[in-house]
Structure 1
Amino acid sequence: MHRATSRAFPLVFFMLGLPGISQAEDSAWYKFTAETKGATSFTSEANKAVYQQLDFNDKVAFEDSRRGLVAPLSNSGNIDGGVFDAEGMNFMQNKQAPDSVNPSLWRMAQLVNYGGLFKVTDHIYQVRGQDLSNLTIIETKTGVVYFDVEYSPKSLAKSVALYEQYRGKKPLRGVIISHSHADHFGGIDGVYEAGLAKPEDFKTGKIPLVAPEGFLEEAIAENVTAGNIMARRAGYQYGNVLKPGERGIITGSLGPALANDKSGLPIPNKVITKDGQKVTIDGVDFVFYLAPHSEAPAEMVMYIPQWKALSMAEDVNHLEHNIYTLRGAQTRDASVWAKYIGEAVARWGGEVEVNFGPHTWPVWGNKNVREYLKNQRDLYQSLYDTTLRYANYGYRPDDISENAQLPKSVFNQWDNRPYYGHTRNNLKSTYIRNLGWYSGNAAELAKYPDAERGRRYVEAMGGVQKVLDAALGSFQKGDYRFTVDLLNNVVAYDGTNQQVNFLMADALEQLGYQEENSLYRNWYLGAAVELRQGGNVKNDLNTSSPEVIAALPPEHFVNYLGMLVDQIKAEKAGNATINLNLTGGTKFGLDLHNGVLNRTSNLQAKNPDATLDISQADLLAFASGKSTVEELVNAGKAKITGDRTAVDKLSGIFALDLRNDMNLVLPLQSENRVK
């Protein structure tokens, strides 16, 4: 049976009474403190058992992950300003796993945290270990093409400098972005820092910037429209709120860690719209096939025929990936994912000699690449087929995720282990993608929100102290999942009880120590940090900075502003129709109606209340309250034709005061709530 890493105990033991501690007993045996704790005996035993489940004598991955090393990362890979601590992320090399880390995850960290400049094959090099993703440098006739450009501009500049130190400075002939996730395109501004290009080079098409169809729309949807909450959740998912160490972040599994930086947003000038589309850049043919709704909503794979080199983008990695990512995104289609990999085997399996990707290390040799692809294909097809088969018997999402039987020949392979995607989460997410969140149990329709539900549970159980006593008993038995479940009833509506918070943090910590999955580990430990700190944990990640918003294409910019309208304030402001003419010629029709700012592109009202001519930057300044309509008009930066009071109704209705340090476990504080 497929089981979660941590032990699960039935609720009945609580109902029958807990051995070892009664509700009336003094709980002085337990120290409620804010300090992190070591592994308990339960955690230590759980992690030791992993050695009996997997073949740790298999060292092939260690040889492959070190193959082709040209040079280690410069400055040990560290980037000043807290951007990247590569040295801190490599403390585990050549050491045995401690009790506070699942030994399988420790092994993965030893593999993927190892960084430097590597030769993949003639003409293809990679810098790995400088960010969560790799920079792949493809040497063309007279220059280089970059395939994915990491998350951080500072990381990219460091990777470029390392490559140029050993391979020489070569002109940039093109950039290829495989898909719409920020860790693959966010470092684009690093090419400017490295002096390889100017923004105009991409705007004019002088340097091709190639991306799949739908890239820009999906990148903006994730990283700008929903960017604030995603960046916040990403800080927990990738362990950016943790320190490297045995009790902190170990690895990001796809790479050592996500650089602690703000990202940029590239605007493609060459879009791949059909399968088999060939783009020739500086004498090298790149053949692309679209793979939408696999690992990303907009994604493509790439083949270089003259070198028999394949990149399956992020559709294949040396791990099980996410069907649903905890940072928040569209749920992916495991069946479609498997299909794309199967098509790659059919299309190139007879000739391909190397597969390289934007994460983890390459695979060499036709036989090895073909088997690697087939095994990854089997992984995602198994997740899909198993989920739907169990669902058709009437099993609910949680039943399937905890108890589904899965083939060991697939899931016990090192390349398919759940370091990044969690098997339990993937099964549940596949159910939800195909059948939605509702399991068919009508009780779910009547369920209260967490705060109200928690308040009622605590009252029914006899008060906070009885919940705390029951949780202590559960903790003492090593049942950390139930400990967290019990205490969350208190925390959901009242985050001020330090004893509850500290015990919940300690239980989450033990769950993290046992996890083979790096994201679950980081979430558990990050949640513990929030509980111990009392909330509002610092967050430096940002995919929707003012610079990014100001640089959005006009239609996406106006849609972003519309999303941020405080509709209660707007409702009080009243209705208005405004024709908006942005500098540069883009026209919009704005209809503020019933508190909703409706917008149409290039379709304007024949008889608007007012017409506003303004630049995008000045409109942003007005929306954010940095400039008033009067100031902009007087400075000649805005022109209003018609009823000026109609434009005045837009003043103060935009909620641009978003914070990115909101609580994710403790209740939201008043300044974080929607006003």
Structure 2
Amino acid sequence: MTRHPHALDRRTFVTGAFATGALVAAGSTLCGCAAGAGTGTGGASAGKAALDSLNADVKPATDATVEANEGVYALLDFSDETEREFASRGLIAAPDTLEITGEDGKVVWSQKAYAFLDGAGNAGDVDETSAAFDADGTGPADAPDTANPSLWRNAQINHFYGLFEVVDGIYQVRGYDMTNITFVRGDTGWIVFDPLMSCECSRAAFQLVTDNLGERPVTGIVMSHPHVDHYGGIKGIVSEEEVAARAIPIIVPQGFAEHAVAENVYAGNAMGRRAGYQYGTFLEAGPQGKLSIGIGMGQSTGTVSYLAPNDTITATGETRTVDGVDMEFQMTPGTEAPAEMNTWFPGFKALWVAENCTATLHNLYTLRGAEVRDGNAWANYLMETLARYGSEAEVTFQAHNWPHWGTDFIKEYLTNTAAMYKFITDQTLMYLNQGYTQEEIAYLIELPAALEPHWYTRQYYGTISHNAKAVYQKYMGWYDANPVHLATLPPERSAAKFVEYFGDVDAVLAKAKDDFDASDYQWVAEVTNLIVFADPANQTARLLCADALEQMGYQAESGTWRNAYFTGAKELRNGVDADPKYRATVSSDIMRAMDVEMLLDYLGILIDANAAADTNLTVNLAFTDEEPYLLTMRSGIVLYQKGVRSDSADATLAMPRLGMLAILARNEDAQKKAISIEGDQDVIAKLTEHLVAFDFFFNIVEP
């Protein structure tokens, strides 16, 4: 088979240094000190003795980690302060400390927790933090050994918070949630872009605007895409009654509602749990804890709301004038979200790039789980953005991080961002067509040298590694064509067999400890996690796996990888912490906004069809406010037809659309009030007999 001239021979790749390397920057540079190390030969007795010293404490950086992090200073120009200057420009006001609480006193957002980054925590400290450099200008003097210096720098800049002017008439409150909330001044009020994730956060941000720019009503809302951090705080700035009474437009891209439900309801429980790993929800902030995630400081945990959109953009070039402000929209579906759009403000020469440009490499696949994104489309839409608006735009601003000013800079910013996604897509396809699998490609691919130095192309959120795997998945799916992998054993079974083949597990752990001492952290994590899946009670395996994950977290440039490593380590050491404080308070708004077919789909998702295999029902759904549906349960599988009625149905349910919520919740009192039944009076009980209650705090790093 012909290989690309720069590709490693498969035998060398699989068995050599790449098989055991420890990552310096997640998805980027390999730690040279680990190459070829960690065979475990000749050191079993020493390693076995060292196992007794393992404990559940957070550990300092090892010498190998210190060396790896020091090496980052040689890779990047830490004297280039362009992004820090952009992030601090235009500050109008910021409180001395910022901590937002809910009505119950729960802290839902805290910048106070990150005060260790710069001493006070807002853009007013930019002079102080900019000066915190070594005498030779090589990097921040205050970056600890337990943090990749590049990520530490990003965290410092992301820690700036307050009210900022983008241009006269466009303002952002940044650092009040994971997302920015933007206020565009109209003739009489504010047009608000992306009202954050939590109502408490958006309410506090709106108050900051009012206190400093005067009291003005909300006259329009634009939500760039259907991720919850871009719409969940909407009721913190406006009520459903106000929207109706003042005919406030809520403008979204086509497909917004459908995808908001798909991400936040259909797979919402699993995504929510996994998001805790990605965003560091279970972690304390600190030099040995969570930092930024590249697009902000993490996820708020306040009240999530939803208001149904009432104005949909369907095509690029569509325009709206809201409260005297002209806006032109560019559709960018399949980029950062399945439904997304940029906005051009010709009167301001300002370009809103939503989450398509975020001053970091973003995700083609997000670690919390979501549909794989189209890197090729992402690149092409950004080049279209450049063609349509690049010659006129004087500032770009976005839903995360900070604006970028200057037409020439913007052209480079758009081009280089597009180039990242195009390169990852094209090169993954180049490698997979040579027969490489996604795991191999993830180690082979790295950005060209011309793109690496830009601070806005660094891997703080997405990584080259997992984005390459996403491209592979998009085009090839999960299967790598090796028939051994067609029906692999579930992890508990395969782990048990591996451990059986190991023979003396203590000897294996002793070798793993030797490999840990040789800085072969990825291999140590893999082998010890096998033992954990075979025997979750093996404390030695748990603690050694945690220590290995921790060192990889210290080295990671990606904030999400750092969080995932640390959260896994925490749960291996201490178990899953099921405290409700780690969850956002989700209102029923999103459920109430679901149409009939979404509700029926969710009914099918909630039913354990194998347990309900003997259940066969036909039910007429006579909705009082929607068209009728015929629901058929066949062997526990939920099917439905719109506009169909059966004369031989087991029962007919007369109810409003929202009566379905009472069925899904198994709320008998609500069912009696909302639903009248003709026919089998037990039909609802039969429909819901095998509904599953999802456990949010399910295990991830153990069975």
Q: 1:349 aligns with which of 390, 400, 406?
A: 390
Q: 2:591 aligns with which of 549, 553, 577?
A: 549
1:52 aligns with 2:52: no
Q: Is the Cα–Cα contact under 8 Å of residues 620 and 651 in structure 2 kept in the other structure?
A: yes
CA distance in 1, matches of 2:684, 2:196: 41
Q: CA deviation at 1:493?
A: 3.0
SS for the counterpart of 2:296 is: coil
Q: 1:394 aligns with which of 411, 435, 445?
A: 435
In structure 2, the residue matched to 1:317 is 358
CA distance in 1, matches of 2:45, 2:470: 38
1:84 aligns with 2:121: no
Superposition pairs of residues 653-668 of structure 1, within 5 angstroms: 653-655=690-692, 657-667=693-703
SS for the counterpart of 2:515 is: helix
In structure 2, the residue matched to 1:255 is 296
- AA paired with 1:658? F
Superposition pairs of residues 100-179 of structure 1, within 5 angstroms: 100-179=146-225
- AA paired with 1:88? A
Name the % identity: 37
In structure 2, the residue matched to 1:43 is 65
1:32 aligns with 2:54: yes
CA distance in 2, matches of 1:10, 1:361: 37
Q: 1:405 to 1:649 in 2, by over 3 A?
A: closer
Q: 1:598 aligns with which of 618, 639, 643?
A: 639
| 1:428-460 alpha-carbon deviations (Å, 9 max, x no partner) | 211211121222222222422211111111111
Q: CA deviation at 1:89?
A: 2.1
| 1:635-664 alpha-carbon deviations (Å, 9 max, x no partner) | x53211123344442242222x21211111
Alignment length (residue pairs) = 654
| 1:234-276 alpha-carbon deviations (Å, 9 max, x no partner) | 1110011100101111112101221122422231100111111
CA distance in 1, matches of 2:65, 2:52: 17
CA distance in 2, matches of 1:364, 1:25: 55
SS for the counterpart of 2:401 is: coil
Q: CA deviation at 1:47?
A: 0.3
In structure 2, the residue matched to 1:509 is 550
In structure 1, the residue matched to 2:609 is 567
CA distance in 2, matches of 1:234, 1:632: 33
Q: Is the Cα–Cα contact under 8 Å of residues 428 and 468 in structure 2 kept in the other structure?
A: yes
Q: Is the Cα–Cα contact under 8 Å of residues 76 and 87 in structure 1 kept in the other structure?
A: yes
Q: Is the Cα–Cα contact under 8 Å of residues 227 and 543 in structure 1 kept in the other structure?
A: no
SS for the counterpart of 1:163 is: helix
SS for the counterpart of 2:49 is: coil
SS for the counterpart of 1:271 is: strand
CA distance in 2, matches of 1:436, 1:5: 27
In structure 2, the residue matched to 1:490 is 531
Q: Is the Cα–Cα contact under 8 Å of residues 37 and 518 in structure 2 kept in the other structure?
A: no
TM-score where L is the length of structure 2: 0.89
TM-score where L is the length of structure 1: 0.92
| 1:524-565 alpha-carbon deviations (Å, 9 max, x no partner) | 001111111123544533486545324433332232122101
Q: Is the Cα–Cα contact under 8 Å of residues 550 and 557 in structure 1 kept in the other structure?
A: no
Superposition pairs of residues 138-537 of structure 1, within 5 angstroms: 138-191=184-237, 197-202=238-243, 206-537=247-578
CA distance in 2, matches of 1:653, 1:601: 24
- AA paired with 1:239? G
Q: CA deviation at 1:607?
A: 3.4
Q: CA deviation at 1:570?
A: 2.5
CA distance in 2, matches of 1:466, 1:445: 32
In structure 2, the residue matched to 1:671 is none
In structure 1, the residue matched to 2:41 is 18
Q: CA deviation at 1:616?
A: 4.8
Q: Is the Cα–Cα contact under 8 Å of residues 577 and 610 in structure 1 kept in the other structure?
A: yes
CA distance in 2, matches of 1:622, 1:302: 41
CA distance in 2, matches of 1:526, 1:654: 31
CA distance in 2, matches of 1:205, 1:383: 47
Q: Is the Cα–Cα contact under 8 Å of residues 112 and 256 in structure 1 kept in the other structure?
A: yes
| 1:162-197 alpha-carbon deviations (Å, 9 max, x no partner) | 010000110111100001111111111212xxxxx3
SS for the counterpart of 2:567 is: helix
> Where in structure 1 are there 5+ consecutive unaligned residues?
192-196, 668-675
CA distance in 2, matches of 1:11, 1:423: 20
Q: CA deviation at 1:7?
A: 3.6
CA distance in 2, matches of 1:604, 1:585: 14
CA distance in 2, matches of 1:387, 1:648: 51
- AA paired with 1:650? L
Q: Is the Cα–Cα contact under 8 Å of residues 535 and 666 in structure 1 kept in the other structure?
A: no
- AA paired with 1:133? T
Q: Is the Cα–Cα contact under 8 Å of residues 320 and 420 in structure 1 kept in the other structure?
A: yes
* Bigger mean CA deviation after superposition, 538-547 or 618-627: 538-547
Q: 1:467 to 1:265 in 2, by over 3 A?
A: farther
RMSD in angstroms over aligned alpha carbons? 2.2
Q: 1:607 aligns with which of 635, 648, 653?
A: 648
* Bigger mean CA deviation after superposition, 443-452 or 504-513: 443-452
Q: 1:623 to 1:216 in 2, by over 3 A?
A: closer
Q: Is the Cα–Cα contact under 8 Å of residues 365 and 466 in structure 2 kept in the other structure?
A: yes
Q: CA deviation at 1:568?
A: 3.1
CA distance in 2, matches of 1:10, 1:418: 21
